[in-house]
């Protein structure tokens, strides 16, 4: 028999999904903001931004603006799938050549973003999302 505390805890899992999506999107956006606007800091020792229309700049656009939409929970499943793919490309193109282990090649956050976005692309944005509000109508 399950206690009421355990039942309440389990029933809150959809809200934790929304919280995971929002927190991940907030962190994800910071990488894009850094690449595009040097906020909260720029890239590298010189605090620079990415050159327009380069691969790094396009990644910044996806991270900043796609991350913003994911924060709100708009088009969550397709955007999360796209962001997961972006992170897979980033890992294999930039991190894996530096070594196998993510802790050594600087790819831990990229791997986590990749799999969190992949999970969210399957699970959806949760009840605290624009998608959920639209679906209820």
Domain ranges of the chain: 15-136
| pLDDT tens digits for range 9-67 | 889 999 999 999 999 999 999 999 999 999 999 999 999 999 999 999 999 999 999 99
What value does the mean pLDDT of the chain take? 96
pLDDT at position 107: 98
Predicted model pTM: 0.93
pLDDT at position 5: 87
CB contact at 8 A, 115 and 80: no
List, as one string, the DSSP characters of 69-134.
HHHHTSSHHHHHHHHHHHHHHHIIIIIGGG-S-HHHHT-HHHHHHHHHHHHHHHH-S-SSSHHHHH
Helix (H, G, I), strand (E, B) or coil at 2: coil
pLDDT at position 93: 97
């Amino acid at each position: 028999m399950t206690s009421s505390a355990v039942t309440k805890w389990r029933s809150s899992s959809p809200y934790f999904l929304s919280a995971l999506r929002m927190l991940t999107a907030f962190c994800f956006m910071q990488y894009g903001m850094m690449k595009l606007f040097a906020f909260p800091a720029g890239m590298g020792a010189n605090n620079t931004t990415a050159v327009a229309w380069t691969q790094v700049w396009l990644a910044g656009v996806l991270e900043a603006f796609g991350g913003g939409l994911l924060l709100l929970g708009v088009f969550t499943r397709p955007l999360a799938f796209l962001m997961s793919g972006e992170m897979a490309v980033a890992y294999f193109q930039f991190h894996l050549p530096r070594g196998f282990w993510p802790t050594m090649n600087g790819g831990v956050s990229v791997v986590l973003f990749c799999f969190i976005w992949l999970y969210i692309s399957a699970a959806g944005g949760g009840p605290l999302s624009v998608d959920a509000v639209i679906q209820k109508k």
